[in-house]
Amino acid sequence: MRIVFHGQNAANFIPGFRDLVGPGHEIAGLPDHLAASTDVAAYQAADVIVGIRLDKQLPPLTKIKLYHAPAAGIDAIDPSLLPAGTPVCNCFGHEHAIAEYVMTALLLRHVPIPDADRRLRQGDWHYWGKPAVLRTELGSGTIGLLGFGHIGKAIASRAKAFGMRVTVCNRTAVPPGPLVDQSFMFDRLRDFMASADAIVVSLPHVPETTGFVGAAEIAAMRPTALILNVGRGPVIDETALYDALADKRIGGAIIDTWYQYPTAGNATPQPSRLSFAELDNVVMTPHMSGWTHEMIRRRQQTVAENIRRLAASLPLINCVA
Helix axes 293-311, 95-110, angle to 10 degrees: 160
Q: Does 124 bind a copy of itself (CB under 8 A)?
A: yes
The residues, any chain, with a CB within 8 Å of residue 261's CB and separated by 6 or more, are 269, 271, 287
Under the criterion CB under 8 A, does residue 314 sit at the interface with a copy of itself?
Answer: no
The rounded distance, in Å, linking the Cα atoms of 144 and 167 is 5
CA–CA separation, 93 vs 76, rounded Å? 20
Sign of CA dihedral 196, 200, 204, 207: positive
- Nearest to a copy of itself of 102, 307 (CB atom): 102
Binding flags for a copy of itself, 275-294, as an x/- string (CB under 8 A): --x-----xxxxxx--xxxx
Cα–Cα distance between 163 and 23 in angstroms, integer? 48
* Count of beta carbons in the 10 Å neighbourhood of residue 282: 18
Rg of the chain in Å (alpha carbons): 22
Question: CB of 95: closest distance to a copy of itself in angstroms?
Answer: 11
Q: Is the dihedral of CA 216, 217, 218, 223 positive or negative?
A: positive
Q: Does 19 bind a copy of itself (CB under 8 A)?
A: no
Q: Residue 47 or 181: which CB sits closer to a copy of itself?
A: 181
The C-alpha atoms of residue 233 and residue 273 are separated, in whole angstroms, by 12
CB of 164 or CB of 310, closer to a copy of itself? 164
In 3D, which of 32, 27, 25 has the Cα closest to residue 9?
Answer: 32
Q: Assess 238 for contact with a copy of itself (CB under 8 A).
A: no
Shortest spacing between CB 180 and a copy of itself, in angstroms: 15
Contact segment (CB under 8 A) with a copy of itself among 26-34, 39-47, 127-135, 225-233 equals 127-135
Residue 186 sits in the site that holds a copy of itself (CB under 8 A): no
Q: What angle do CA 192, 93, 5 make, to 5 degrees?
A: 125
Quick one: which segment of 17-25, 113-121, 167-175, 205-213 binds a copy of itself (CB under 8 A)?
A: 113-121
Residue 134 binds to a copy of itself (criterion: CB under 8 A)? yes
Binding-site member from 103, 180, 218, 226 for a copy of itself (CB under 8 A): 103
Q: Is there binding between residue 161 and a copy of itself (CB under 8 A)?
A: yes
Q: What are phi and psi of 252, to 5 degrees?
A: 155, 175
Between 1 and 11, name the residue whose CB sits nearer to a copy of itself. Answer: 11
Stretch that binds a copy of itself, among 124-132, 168-176, 184-192, 301-309 (CB under 8 A): 124-132
Binding residue for a copy of itself (CB under 8 A) from 86, 157, 281, 301? 157
Let me know how long the chain is.
321
In three-state secondary structure terms, 90 is: coil
User: What is the number of other CB atoms lying within 10 angstroms of the CB of residue 121?
Assistant: 8
135 lies in the binding site for a copy of itself (CB under 8 A): yes
- Using CB under 8 A, which of 21, 89, 105, 145 touches a copy of itself? 105
The footprint of a copy of itself (CB under 8 A) covers 9, 12, 15, 96-97, 99-101, 103-105, 107-108, 110-111, 113-114, 116-117, 119-131, 133-140, 157-158, 160-163, 261-262, 267-271, 277, 283-288, 291-294, 296
